[in-house]
Chains A and B, each alone.
Chain A
Amino acid sequence: MNVLAIAIAIGICMGLVGFGIAMGQGKSLSNAVEGISKQPEAAADIRTTLIVGMAIMETMGVLTFVIAIILSGKL
């Protein structure tokens, strides 16, 4: 029972964080593409900001991933 609960918890936390990150990154990418198409000369700046911002968003996933690893050690 305990093992089952931990396994379900790992699945739920990774799934939820994937959902959240996908929403955030999709929104930021769509806005960045819009910005580049409106203002192609600012493409380099927008690209750098986009990559840095996406990596910061991914941090949430990574922290959850660390928690999932710690949890999976208890299975």
Chain B
Amino acid sequence: MNFDELGARIIVTFGDGKVFLTESFLFGVIVAVVIAVFGIWLGSNLKTVPKGKQIFSELIVGWIYKFTKENVGTGNEGYAPYIGTVFAFCMCGSMLGLFGFRPITADVNVTFALSILTFLLIQFSEVKKFGLFGKIKHMCEPYPFMLPLKILEDLTLPISLGFRLFGNILGGLIVIDLWLNFMTYLSTYFSTVPFLRAVLVLPLNGFFDIFEPIIQTFIFTLLTMIFLGIGINVSKQDS
């Protein structure tokens, strides 16, 4: 595995190599399609009395809506579909390590795409709610000279969100890869087959490919909702 670059491998190039598709693009599309098909299957054929798969889907949707309502505030449940989509995509993308692929969130492009989407969502919802001048007026409070600091505060949000997710997943990837290399080295003392790689990596997989993605996705969505809630609700009290 190549760690010299912070992105993933390039698999398809067009023309003179300036236009290319990376591994994370391919797996991102696959994950998105799988989630979409699964979601459509879960949401199809709904009945008044829930049965079977409908109980599961109602559990998920209800939890996402409750989670959004607690953190963004009552009356803002309209953001729940976005939160749920980011949650599902980010978690499934980070768990790709279970299948032996490079997790797509271990690519700085994917995490920054997600965090810039969050940034745009927050800015647009503030502007939509209070208007451009209302937002600027709110940023000039309490003193107008604090405007650059407020702008800096807004701009650091996507950077910290993106690097947090990227670093955590990449760290887990590197630790698992180092462990696999070490096990290959150890098993050369016993036989030519690297048999020690087989089972001994499972605890690390459990931590870095199941526990860590859940926690990091939870934090990503929680911070998204908290900053969204600050942007929407605090401004309401002032104006």
Chain B contributes a number of interface residues (CB within 8 A of A) equal to 17
**Interface check B222, CB cutoff 8 A:** yes
* Set of chain A residues within 8 Å of B219, measured between Cβ atoms: 52, 55-56
A55's contact among B166, B171, B174, B216, by CB below 8 Å, is which?
A: B216
Residues of B121-177 whose CB lies within 8 A of A = 160, 163-164, 166-168, 170-171, 174
Q: Chain B, 1-38, contact with A by CB distance < 8 Å: what is the 0/1 string?
A: 00110100000000000000000000000000000000
Total of A-B residue pairs, C-beta within 8 Å: 38
Q: Chain A, 45-58, contact with B by CB distance < 8 Å: what is the 0/1 string?
A: 00000011001101
Bound complex: CA of A70 vs CA of B168, how far in Å? 15
A52's contact among B4, B164, B174, B218, by CB below 8 Å, is which?
A: B218
The answer to whether residues A66 and B167 also contact, given A55-B216, A59-B160 and a CB cut-off of 8 A, is yes
Bound complex: CA of A73 vs CA of B174, how far in Å? 14
Chain A contributes a number of interface residues (CB within 8 A of B) equal to 13
Q: Which residues of B contact A (CB under 8 A)?
A: 3-4, 6, 160, 163-164, 166-168, 170-171, 174, 215-216, 218-219, 222
